[in-house]
Amino acid sequence: MSPAPASGRLVLAATPLGDPRDASPRLCELIGTADVIAAEDTRRFRTLAGALGVTWTGKIVSHYDAVEAERLPGLLAAVRDGSTVLVVSDAGMPAVSDPGYRLVAAAAAEDLPVTCVPGPSAVTTALVLSGLPVERFCFDGFPPRRSGERRRWLETLRDERRAIVVFESPRRTADLLDDAVAVLGPDRRAAVCRELTKTYEQVVRGTLAELAAWASSGDVLGEVTVVLAGAEERAAPPVESLVAAVRERTDDGERLKDAVAAVAGAAGVPKRELYNATLAARD
């Protein structure tokens, strides 16, 4: 009986955001030795390999959003058969707003070897350059495209204490900033980072109002990453000042318990304290 083929491995590798010199030696080695290279854009991959002076010998297959599900069975089969499958996106880390997540999840479900070659990331690069407090942050991908949906999404971030990082199309950056001014306020600080690590890298820092005015010129070009400062902690108002709001709701027929819960939740005060204050005001 012939031995079973050795298990291969799935490798996700970060590629340079712009400057080929940011490529790691491990990335260069893998490009030259991988059996299969799943690239988000095969033409851009070939350009990168040429800039790095690396010759590949493996099979190159496209691996972008529209074909990700279609490619999955074949890539998993290659790993099972003992091949090294290298996954790269156009720039930065695969699976972060780029194809890769489904393949990793499927490989992990079969207990196939999965590893990562770390490297460039627009998320962490923008955080470092933003000049904002970023000890804690969250990444939220691309904002909704339509203004109404985008404003509802921004509402969910109104009280987010962590810095927020998003990617955005240069065509929609001005609209995003206008909506952010309306929802988060003109004084919230932010940074717009474009063309990171490239020749025309630019980081514009300021309030949302200042950035919206800058973007209104229509000169936003290239790859854009936006960092929003986290919300500042707001002091809760005295519960006594909220009694009138509770009374207004109960006068309209709302139950006292429900009115207290709604007002306390919006103001960030304990429900019990507001409930007792409301009862005390009746005496």
pLDDT value of residue 3: 43
pLDDT value of residue 283: 65
> What is the distance between the alpha carbons of residues 168 and 104, in angstroms, rounded to a whole number?
25
- Matching CATH topology for 9-120 and 123-228? no
CATH architecture of 9-120: 3-Layer(aba) Sandwich (3.40)
> What is the distance between the alpha carbons of residues 57 and 94, in angstroms, rounded to a whole number?
21
Q: Which of 76, 72, 54, 73 is nearest to 63 (CA)?
A: 72
pLDDT value of residue 4: 44
What end-to-end distance do the CA atoms of the chain give, in Å?
90
Fold assignment, 123-228? 3.30.950
Torsion on CA atoms 50, 56, 58, 62, rounded to nearest 10: -10
* pTM of the complete model beyond 0.85: no
Beta bridge partners of 116: 12
Domain boundaries, the chain: 9-120, 123-228, 239-282
Report whether 55 contacts 49 (CB < 8 A): yes
DSSP string, 64-91: -GGGHHHHHHHHHHHHHTT-EEEEE-SS
Report whether 157 contacts 229 (CB < 8 A): no
Beta bridge partners of 168: 224
Report whether 73 contacts 51 (CB < 8 A): no
Torsion on CA atoms 123, 126, 132, 136, rounded to nearest 10: 10
> What is the distance between the alpha carbons of residues 239 and 138, in angstroms, rounded to a whole number?
32
**Token couple for 177:** 């900033």
Per-position pLDDT tens, the chain of length 283: 444 455 799 999 999 999 999 999 999 999 999 999 999 999 999 999 999 999 999 999 999 999 999 999 999 999 999 999 999 999 999 999 899 999 999 999 999 999 999 999 999 999 999 999 999 999 999 999 999 999 999 999 998 999 999 999 999 999 999 999 999 999 999 999 999 999 999 999 999 999 999 999 877 999 999 999 999 876 667 888 888 999 999 999 999 999 999 888 888 788 898 889 898 888 6
pLDDT value of residue 235: 64
pLDDT value of residue 237: 75
pLDDT value of residue 114: 97
**Token couple for 34:** 């991988």
Report whether 261 contacts 271 (CB < 8 A): yes
> What is the distance between the alpha carbons of residues 14 and 27, in angstroms, rounded to a whole number?
8
**Token couple for 155:** 């509402």
Q: What single letter denotes the amino acid at residue 273?
A: E
Beta bridge partners of 115: 11
